[in-house]
Amino acid sequence: MRTGLLLASLLLLTAAVSAHPETVSLGRYNVSFDLGAGTSYTAEVEELEDGGCISYLCWLKGEEVMLIALTDHLLPMEVSYGIIKKSVQTFLIEANCQDIRTHEEIIDGMPGVLGLGERPSGRVLFCVIYWPDLHEADDGIARGRVDCTIASEGSVAVTENLLNTIHVEMPQEG
């Protein structure tokens, strides 16, 4: 999550969603996922602008609350494991988590970082960040333009379903 985001426009889309593969439009990106059988939730979508980037937030609300956030930085940025790990740690620290642990994870076929920490309520908060458009540039440096943050206080089973099935469809650049 980005602190200090200025709310330029708010698109609130509430839809009843059932537990089967689902696709949500976040700006020019389509995000598909499956939370598993027996899970019902509503999806609320917001669009936020902050200077040099646009964030698209999809809140999945039911018995458990989860967030899928795409941030389009509008220009390619250098990306490394260290940068992603620091972002995950910052997210969890800002959520007042203790006992933060992180490790590398493959999400949507891309390298990312999975972190978890204990909230003051005693619940575990999971945070994953990866870049669905990560690629090696001509200069040999890994770059991406869009990062995906997934946060969940949900059960391990539902969170695993989300992480194992999420896919961000990148639009064709013309």
Residue 2 lies in a domain: no
pTM: 0.85
Q: What is the DSSP string of 84-125?
A: HHHHHHHHHHHTT-EEEEEEEEEETTEEEEEEEEE-TTS-EE
Residue 144 lies in a domain: yes
Residue 99 lies in a domain: yes
Host domain of residue 120 = 14-169
Residue 29 lies in a domain: yes
Residue 6 lies in a domain: no
pLDDT digits (tens, 9 = 90+) for 95-136: 999 999 999 999 999 999 999 999 999 999 999 999 999 999
pLDDT digits (tens, 9 = 90+) for 22-46: 899 999 999 999 988 777 888 899 9
Number of domains in the chain: 1
